[in-house]
Amino acid sequence: MSILDQLHTLTQEAEASLAGVADLAALTAWKSCYIGKSGSLTRLSRGLGALPAEERPAAGQRVNQVREALDAAFAAAEERLKAAAQASELAAEQLDVTMPGRVPALGYVHLTNQVLRQVEEIFGEMGFQVTESPEVELDANNFSLLNFADDHPARDMQDTFYVETPVDGPAVLLRTHTSPGQMRVMRERAPEPLRILLPGKVYRNEQVTVRSEMMFHQFEFLAVGRNITMGDLKGTLAYFAERMYGPGTKVRLRPSFFPFTEPSAEMDVSCFLCGGEGCRICKHAGWLEIGGCGMVHPTVLRNGGYDPTTFSGFAGGFGPERIAMLKYGINDIRLFYGGDARFVEMFG
Ligand code: DAH
């Protein structure tokens, strides 16, 4: 075969092979095979010297043409493959900005706080101001000044966590109810008329069961002024019950006893589930027990700095957990503070 024919065959082969090259590694292999230092074209051009002198210029020129053509084909392929590699790299990094993002985990307002917020709103509508008072309390505010005698059996109603104090110091405890807040507010503000709501935590040294926890919440409401009557108490409770449990909810007061109120009462509301017919929630009574209330005892008014011959007042203390348990049919108070986030999320 003449060298020109060989050059022709080589060109065809090289071009056909180049068409099949799919990536830069294959292109490098192609280059060394055809146009590299020890490639086919170099090998062919070495044979030029053995040609008769008159054939050499034409053959040399042809070799150069073939080299230029294959170099150009190589450069074009290289450019195309580099562009393709870059494009696929970009494609791999591509972000679909229309894809929905990951939703961050959100916290929820605890059920107890939801109820307390609602209670604050309802009492707020009646002009009650939210105030807080300490959880670590003087025994005096928690008991004595609220008319609990030292040996009063009512102290047994509430098992108390005492805080260790010096022998000659005042007795300190974790408040067993929010009522000591009454004493603090009265002593601070007497003789101003008061309408106060005191929400917060209370503690009792009790066996933990489905019905009782060592820590739970209460909210205390207190109104003090001139000419405040039990009718005002009942009106306040009726408004609260309708707003909390829905229009048409009725209120009933049953006689009871608390050292700090006289008269004292337990408030019931007509069952929001059956409307008073009797059902599982109200245990077929038609009524639900919500909490204690009454007219502030004259001794308590006096201890708070109000003259009971001029001033009167009403007060009450309810538990938001109980309100929530009745409302949502929760049958175990331990779920509230057991730390299982699913419980909180359920009411989120
Ligand atoms: N402090 C009482 C308790 O924890 C509840 C209570 C009853 C509060 C009557 C009051 C009240 O203000 O008037 O059992």
Give per-residue pLDDT as tens, 71-105: 888 888 889 889 988 998 898 898 888 999 898 88
Query: Is the CB of residue 200 below 6 angstroms from any atom belonging to ligand 1?
Result: no
CA dist 238 and 321 (Å) reads 20
pLDDT, average across residues 145-156:
79
Task: Determine what percent of the chain is predicted with pLDDT higher than 70.
Answer: 98
CA dist 159 and 205 (Å) reads 5
pLDDT confidence of residue 156: 60
Query: Is the CB of residue 147 below 6 angstroms from any atom belonging to ligand 1?
Result: no
Annotated binding-site ranges: 262
Distance 261 CA to ligand 1 centre (A): 8
H or E element that contains 220:
strand 215-225
pLDDT confidence of residue 153: 63
Query: Is the CB of residue 292 below 6 angstroms from any atom belonging to ligand 1?
Result: yes
pLDDT confidence of residue 38: 87
Q: What is the pLDDT of residues 283-317, one digit of tens each?
A: 899 999 999 999 999 999 999 999 999 999 999 99
Distance 92 CA to ligand 1 centre (A): 68
**Which residue minimizes the CA distance to atom 7 of ligand 1?**
292
pLDDT of residue 68 exceeding 80: yes
Rg (CA), the chain: 45
CA dist 261 and 5 (Å) reads 122
Does residue 263 have a cis peptide bond before it, meaning omega lies within 30 degrees of 0? Answer: yes
- Say which range, 46-60, 102-116, 219-233, has the weakest mean pLDDT: 46-60
Query: Is the CB of residue 198 below 6 angstroms from any atom belonging to ligand 1?
Result: no
**Which residue minimizes the CA distance to atom 5 of ligand 1?**
317
Task: Determine what percent of the chain is predicted with pLDDT higher than 90.
Answer: 56
CA dist 110 and 118 (Å) reads 12
Does residue 191 have a cis peptide bond before it, meaning omega lies within 30 degrees of 0? Answer: yes
Global pTM? 0.72
**163 and 135 Cβ atoms separated by less than 8 Å:** no
First to last CA, the chain: 89
Mean pLDDT computed over every residue of the chain: 92
